[in-house]
Structure 1
Amino acid sequence: MLHTVLPDALTPELALALAGAERLTTCCQQAHTLWHAWGPPERPALVLLHGGSGSWTHWVRNIAPLRDAGWRVLVPDLPGFGDSDLPAGCSDVDQLPAHLHSGLQQLQSAGQCAVRVGVVGFSFGGMAGALWLAEHPQDATQLVLVGAPGMGLTVPERIPLKAWRHLASADAQTAVHRHNLMALMLHAPEALDALALRLHAANVQRDRMPRRRLSSTDIVARVLPQVQARVSAIFGEHDALYRGRLSELAVAMPQMAAHWGAWQLVPNAGHWVQYEAAEAFHAALLAVLGTGA
């Protein structure tokens, strides 16, 4: 059995909590997707999909509590990110459902995943989850969208992200990473700790799908009526993607989904809500999902 190599940046407590993760590989269209798994395979499965320019490490503060709540936690590096291959011709989220569907089927056939599955998608991963379950409604019974774009609601001011790849010095790149984390991902300055910075810096270097454009459209709003899973949403109170418009989104989403679950707003948190306010996020998520056991 292969095991996931944990980032050196993890605190000793997190490293201990995440130790022993299984490293699983699936293949679709000659591209390999890497999955990380915690908890016994016979448990109900919870698939966590990370955000854009990310990897499985977007969920480092959430995996152990969900495993301890009774789930088999499966966290892929989405195709084109982390240690997964970039499939030929894949340039945006609309080409990911085939890989996620095929990967889940392969894991289930190998006895690595139960039939009962829930999907939780963060940001870009929320878009991927919605498109996946619209195309393959039998794959999961629940979908939780966390800070998901693609709803057709824009904010007046563009999020001021800065480029970094052209910068020669590590210090200059780090300064930009700090700026971008506070501009998009986090709300409170104290949330930008050493772990968040190192995870982010490692993740963006492995982003091989840089020209994604569908997040600025209404693609998720258009497919939600096709999703047969129960759909719920969790957003940070200060999510930069919806600054000033979260109240509109809270009204709109139940009307979009064919099978609506619940809306959860986490106070004092930004876009990367599951990292910045992990305990409040867990309470919100478990209230939506119930326990896995």
Structure 2
Amino acid sequence: MRAAGGGAGELVWHRWQPADAVRVAGAPPLVLFHGGSGSWTHWVKNIVPLLEAGRTVLAADLPGFGDSDLPDGGADADAMAPVLAGGLHQLLQGERCDLVGFSFGGMTSGLMLADAPELARRLVLVGAPAMGVVPGRQFELRAWRHLKSAAEQEAIHRHNLGVLMLHDHDLIDGLALEVHMTNVPRDRAPRRRLAHTDILARTLPRVRCPVHAIYGEHDAIYQHYIHQLEDAFAAAAPDFRGMQLIPGAGHWVQFEAPEAFDAALLRALAG
């Protein structure tokens, strides 16, 4: 599906409906925002289990990623939030959703709901940055665009997946590489900086709905600071409902430990 982006081109949304036999009556749409340099495929292992749980799923390609146009007003989360709010107003037609934001998409969802609280009845933040507990960048990614050889590029992508996204390097398999190597070249939103600030922590006091958090215990964004996060959320979000840590998983927790993540997400959505 495509929706106007408030004068900033088109947003692409992907929608799945559950079978009538399992549909949860009265459940709002479940909206998924992916992470930086990604697309809806950051959720590739989770769509079917969520449908089997009876939920209608609506996954965005965020502005400037996947098949969605880059907004005119900027290439960071603060420019994308009003564009996404406009798209959701068109698609939801006054209905509130349950919103799940991964990484950059979590930060963006917080900024969006601070100004458009009518869009969601709850927010689930997954591996979200910008909570102000990390003194500096915890990882360094390697450049790949200058490399001419496909094999050299794949080696760098494999390295970057291991540095940032997946804790267990044995899980950097064909699917992980395919998703990553398809998404990263379509990132048209360079020089994003807000993820390395405390903007989410400063924005959450204006988010009125219940807020839940799910992280992999080895999230590379936080490393030695992961256990400071729950207190940071409790201090920032007026209606914080708790944080779940997924054992053995890294930043891309919903891909690395899909069964444990899906169970944690359904607990949050029921809480």
TM-score of the alignment, normalized to the shorter chain, above 0.5: yes
Unpaired segments ≥5 residues, structure 1: 1-22
- Greater shift, 167-176 or 247-256, is seen at 247-256
Conservation of the 8 A alpha-carbon contact between 2:2 and 2:10: no
Amino acid in the other structure paired with 1:137: P
Amino acid in the other structure paired with 2:78: D
Q: Residues 1-293 of structure 1: matches in 2 within 5 Å?
A: 23-39=1-17, 43-109=27-93, 115-154=95-134, 158-290=138-270
Length, aligned pairs only: 265
Conservation of the 8 A alpha-carbon contact between 1:230 and 1:260: yes
Kindly state the Cα deviation for residue 225 of structure 1 after the two structures are TM-superposed: 0.5
- Normalised to the residue count of structure 1, the TM-score between the two structures is 0.87
Q: 1:24 to 1:256 in 2, by over 3 A?
A: same
Per-residue Cα deviation, 1:183-211 (whole angstroms, up to 9, x for no partner): 00000012111000011001000000110
Conservation of the 8 A alpha-carbon contact between 1:144 and 1:231: yes
Kindly state the Cα deviation for residue 160 of structure 1 after the two structures are TM-superposed: 2.2
- Greater shift, 67-76 or 45-54, is seen at 67-76
Matched residues in 2 for 1:206 and 1:260: separation? 34
Unpaired segments ≥5 residues, structure 2: none
- Greater shift, 221-230 or 92-101, is seen at 92-101
Q: 1:263 to 1:30 in 2, by over 3 A?
A: closer
Amino acid in the other structure paired with 1:115: E
Structure 2 residue matching 1:205: 3-state secondary structure: helix
Matched residues in 1 for 2:251 and 2:135: separation? 14
Kindly state the Cα deviation for residue 97 of structure 1 after the two structures are TM-superposed: 1.6
Amino acid in the other structure paired with 1:288: A
Kindly state the Cα deviation for residue 156 of structure 1 after the two structures are TM-superposed: 5.8
Matched residues in 2 for 1:225 and 1:43: separation? 26
Kindly state the Cα deviation for residue 262 of structure 1 after the two structures are TM-superposed: 1.8
- Normalised to the residue count of structure 2, the TM-score between the two structures is 0.94
- Greater shift, 23-32 or 199-208, is seen at 23-32
Matched residues in 1 for 2:55 and 2:158: separation? 33
Matched residues in 1 for 2:119 and 2:137: separation? 37
